[in-house]
Amino acid sequence: MSLITRREICALAAVMPLGAFASPAQASLTKAGAEKFPQAELSVLLFPGFETIDAMGPVEMFGNLRDFSMRFASLEGGVVKSAQGLPVMTEKFGIENASPLLLVPGAAPAFLPKDPRFFEMLKAAAQKADSVLTVCTGSLLVAKTGLLNGRKATSNKKALPMVMKAVPQVNWQRKARWVVDGRFYTSSGISAGMDMALGFIADRYGEEEAQRIAGFTEYRRIADPSDDPFAI
């Protein structure tokens, strides 16, 4: 029996349905747990060259919630590769099946979408969502739809000067691990998305649940959104 390679694992993950990889927390779901944590769904909006951890860091945290489902969507559907080469099978976005929770990862400036159809899709999804979460320069993408005008938000601190210049109508926060303004959660760069996801979980499902997931993933969490070691 041969050992499966990392490349084969990535290829398998790209075509298998998300539910095929149930976490221990999900596998041990009880009826009482289901009643305490009602079912929810997250859409992750991907594009070629997205930053892997921007998307998959929060996905790991949300994936350990009880009775929580996720879908990956893109403008055209099919396999979308991250900047680091991770292939993810996506469905073609349709506003009729947009989820109540929306996650928008970021990317290096060269990989950020420019197609007007992407921003039309993003705006439609964000308007329908109960909560919108962005990581890194994902906040710039949402800001370009006009939905963050007049709101507080943050982004990757190295990219912040560019972001602030691109959409000055947003009240950009120079020092913040993540920012909450109404139904919008925006985080700083890359790994900050995991702290934001746990912050959202604490707000929505309780601090105990956020601590449980941080412990299960052996993640040393920054729980204070103002604790930003990378502020400029």
In this predicted model, what pLDDT tens digit does every residue of 37-67 receive, in sequence order? 556 899 999 999 999 999 999 999 999 998 8
CATH class of 33-216: alpha beta
The whole-number pLDDT of residue 125 equals: 94
In this predicted model, what pLDDT tens digit does every residue of 209-218 receive, in sequence order? 999 999 999 9
Q: pTM for the whole thing?
A: 0.84
Please give the share of the chain, as a percent, with pLDDT higher than 90: 77
Number of residues that make up the chain? 232
The more confident residue out of 56 and 13 is 56
Q: Where are the domains of the chain?
A: 33-216
Please give the share of the chain, as a percent, with pLDDT higher than 70: 83
Neighbours of 19 (CB within 10 A): 9
- Quickly list DSSP for the chain: -PPPPHHHHHHHHHHS-GGGS--HHHHT--HHHHHHS--EEEEEE--TT--HHHHHHHHHHHTTSTTEEEEEEESS-EEEE-TT--EEEEEEP-GGG--SEEEE----GGGS---HHHHHHHHHHHHH-SEEEE-TTHHHHHHTTTTTTTSEE---TTTHHHHHHH-TTSEE-SS-SEEEETTEEEE-STTHHHHHHHHHHHHHH-HHHHHHHHHHTT------TT--TT--
Instruction: List the end-to-end C-alpha distance of the chain, in Å, as a whole number.
Output: 53
In this predicted model, what pLDDT tens digit does every residue of 163-200 receive, in sequence order? 999 999 999 999 999 999 999 999 999 999 999 999 99
The burial of 154, by beta-carbon neighbours within 10 Å (0-12 exposed, 13-18 middle, 19 or more buried), is given as buried
Is the per-residue pLDDT at 22 higher than 90?
A: no
The whole-number pLDDT of residue 19 equals: 40
Contact 82, 55 (CB under 8 A): yes
The whole-number pLDDT of residue 146 equals: 98
Is the per-residue pLDDT at 34 higher than 60?
A: no
Is the per-residue pLDDT at 225 higher than 50?
A: yes
The whole-number pLDDT of residue 9 equals: 37
- The average confidence (pLDDT) of the chain is 87
Half-sphere exposure for 125 (CA within 13 Å, toward CB): 30
Q: How far is CA 223 from CA 50, 177, 179, 194, 199, in A?
A: 25, 9, 12, 10, 7
Q: Work out the average pLDDT over 201-215.
A: 97
Q: How confident is the model at residue 88 (pLDDT cuts 50, 70, 90)?
A: very high
d(CA 36, CA 114): 42
The whole-number pLDDT of residue 36 equals: 53
